[in-house]
Amino acid sequence: MNVAMMKRNNIYNRKGDNKMSRGLNKDDIIYFLSNRCSQTLGGVQTIIRLIEQALPEQKFVEIPIVYNKKDLILDKLPNVEVYSMAINKSEKIKRYINIFEIDNEEIKEEVIIPNSKIVVFGVQKLIFLSKKDLINNEIIIFQSNRPDITFGTVEKGKVPFILTEKIKYIDKFLFYTEEDKKEILKILGNSKVEYNFKSYIVPNPSKTPRNQICRYTNSLMYMGRFDIIQKNIKEYIKLADRLYPKYNINAYGDGISKVLLEFSKVNVKGVIKDISEVAHENSILLLLSNYEGFGNVIVEAYSVGMPVIVYDSYPAAKSIVTHNAGKLVPYGDLDGVIEAIEEILKDEVTFKKYSNGAFEESKKYIKEDIISKYIHVIMDPYKN
């Protein structure tokens, strides 16, 4: 590559293939690389959609790993196009050319236009980007799960071999919490990989408007996917057996383990769009997962003034679950969960104290504030 070309592309070479920081021009594109596109529902999909909505004049291209048109349940935004990795190369190029009517000769075989910003949800997805893409664009990692899972680790506490040469191309890294940052840096240190990214701490937002409508009842709730592997659905079944009839557990959601819940003392209530629909019927949110990334449902519970009881099965929980807003219980300690329930629901005065604490905590996760921080991370000039 000659000097003129490097200047034109705002790239200069170093041992780690450094890239120069720059702002966005009006025709520049921000790419999102994630499991699914924003036309589905879920934690990462919600974040993508919120950023896109906040920047209606910005052009976005989503690159989902899984793209099934049957799953699309939200309307596509006018400033967003989807570029599927599941179709063949010639069709990809044809589709991409049509996105913004870019001239054929100018685009040639480029999938990602150089000097773009690529927001990648989870380090493991760097395997889908070529070295050329990594060198020629600003690479921004958004943490998308527990630290080891965001790397896709096989050997515990180390970066997979296939990623070791790609880490040095990361320009920015957004962590959920300081605890997550410590764990991720420990993994990088254990692996002795080169990295030189700019760090940011931004928690996930609550999509639930703040309204303290939670009430003192004898009902507890779970909201999420009915899944054994991550969500640990069997734990709620065991807990319901021990609590019945003093307390009820209501489960809101769907999934492959639904039949297990239906044959237990857990009350399967179906799918809801937001926790605010049932906050007046339940007093505590239970999240007893084997692991989580952030646990968005916790901050949604805070938004309605609902205390939480959470297993300490992932780093972010230590920051999100505060003593005034609920209880963090050692993983697998059902006795500890029952003690926490008895403490929070001891009487209406005690419950109100925890409810007020939860509602106060919700101020940290106001959607508009968090979206502004996301946009800052994406637009912030980086320096290496």
Give the sign of the dihedral formed by CA 265, CA 270, CA 276, CA 277: negative
Q: Would you state the pLDDT for residue 148?
A: 87
Shortest CA distance to 67 belongs to which of 36, 25, 27? 36
- What whole-number distance in Å separates Cα of residue 309 and Cα of residue 344? 10
> pLDDT 10s digit of each residue in the chain, 384 long?
333 333 334 433 333 445 656 566 656 899 999 998 999 878 899 999 999 999 999 999 999 988 877 778 889 999 999 887 655 455 555 544 444 444 433 333 456 899 999 999 999 999 999 999 999 999 999 999 999 888 887 567 899 999 999 999 999 999 999 999 999 999 999 999 999 999 999 999 999 999 999 999 999 999 999 999 999 999 999 999 999 999 999 999 999 999 999 999 999 999 998 999 999 999 999 999 999 989 999 999 999 999 999 999 999 999 999 999 999 999 999 999 999 999 999 999 999 999 999 999 999 999 999 999 999 999 999 765
Beta bridge partners of 339: none
- What whole-number distance in Å separates Cα of residue 61 and Cα of residue 266? 42
User: Element (H or E) spanning 173, and its range?
Assistant: strand 172-175
Q: Would you state the pLDDT for residue 19?
A: 65
Beta strands in 97-158 (DSSP E): 117-121, 138-142
Q: Would you state the pLDDT for residue 91?
A: 55
Q: Would you state the pLDDT for residue 227?
A: 93
Q: Would you state the pLDDT for residue 108?
A: 38
Q: Would you state the pLDDT for residue 373?
A: 98
What are the structural domains of the chain? 3-205+368-379 (3.40.50.2000), 219-365 (3.40.50.2000)
Shortest CA distance to 288 belongs to which of 341, 234, 216, 207? 234
Tokens of 343: 């403490």
User: Element (H or E) spanning 262, and its range?
Assistant: helix 258-262
For residue 192, give the 3-state DSSP assignment: coil
Cβ atoms 60, 66 nearer than 8 A: no
Q: Would you state the pLDDT for residue 23?
A: 61
Give the sign of the dihedral formed by CA 129, CA 135, CA 140, CA 144: positive
Cβ atoms 324, 288 nearer than 8 A: no
The DSSP annotation for 66-112 comes to S--GGG--SPPPTTEEE--TTS-HHHHHHHHHHHHT--HHHHTT-SS
Tokens of 178: 């300081």
Tokens of 231: 């969500």
Strands 29-34, 59-64: pairing kind: parallel
User: Element (H or E) spanning 327, and its range?
Assistant: strand 326-329
Tokens of 306: 């609902």
Q: Would you state the pLDDT for residue 85?
A: 66
- 220, with CB counted inside 10 A (0-12, 13-18, 19+), is buried
Q: Would you state the pLDDT for residue 97?
A: 46
Q: Would you state the pLDDT for residue 318?
A: 94
- What whole-number distance in Å separates Cα of residue 19 and Cα of residue 6? 10
Give the sign of the dihedral formed by CA 264, CA 267, CA 273, CA 274: negative
Cβ atoms 340, 333 nearer than 8 A: no
For residue 159, give the 3-state DSSP assignment: coil
**Secondary structure letter of residue 20 according to DSSP:** -
Q: Would you state the pLDDT for residue 150?
A: 87
Label residue 119 left, alpha or beta by phi (over 0 means left) and psi (-120 to 50 means alpha). beta
**In angstroms, what is the C-alpha Rg of the chain?**
23
- 295, with CB counted inside 10 A (0-12, 13-18, 19+), is buried
Cβ atoms 293, 316 nearer than 8 A: yes
